[in-house]
Amino acid sequence: MTMSVRAIGPADLESVSAVLRESWGGTTLVALGRGELVDAAAQPGFVAELDGELAGVVTWRERDGAVEILTIDAVLPGKGVGRALLDAVRARRLKPSIPREADGIPIRHELELELLL
């Protein structure tokens, strides 16, 4: 089983909206930060795919220098989907300068090397 996580793109809007409607009753929800209504489908996020099948969705928003997770849904539970989605948000938050792709190749992982002297 191969899992991949990538940023939500325009072609994902229909499937992301379907997941949100199924889990949350719609795409609009009340964000906890200030009790505002937010269209989660219009926010940044990631989709996880397992062997090419939609496995999960996470959406978030950034406010005052902090990331607020709006929704997280593992369509295929028990496969590590939620963890992979949260790791993707964390990586993007810690290193926003990491490009999403280089030379047309998606960048999905970061490796840090350290040499102790």
What is the DSSP code (8-state) at residue 18?
H
**Stronger pLDDT, 75 or 94, i.e. the higher one:** 75
pTM: 0.76
Query: What pLDDT score was predicted for residue 90?
Result: 84
**Chain segment 48-68, per-residue pLDDT in tens:** 999 889 999 999 988 777 788
Query: What pLDDT score was predicted for residue 63?
Result: 77
Query: What pLDDT score was predicted for residue 101?
Result: 59
**Cβ atoms 57, 110 nearer than 8 A:** no
**Chain segment 15-56, per-residue pLDDT in tens:** 999 999 999 999 998 877 677 899 999 999 999 999 889 999
**Chain segment 82-104, per-residue pLDDT in tens:** 999 998 888 766 555 555 555 66
Question: Among positive and negative, which fits the CA dihedral 21, 24, 25, 31?
Answer: negative
With 0-12 / 13-18 / 19 or more C-beta atoms within 10 angstroms meaning exposed / middle / buried, residue 55 is buried
CA atoms of 103 and 82, how far apart (whole Å): 29
CA atoms of 108 and 31, how far apart (whole Å): 28
1-11 average pLDDT score: 88
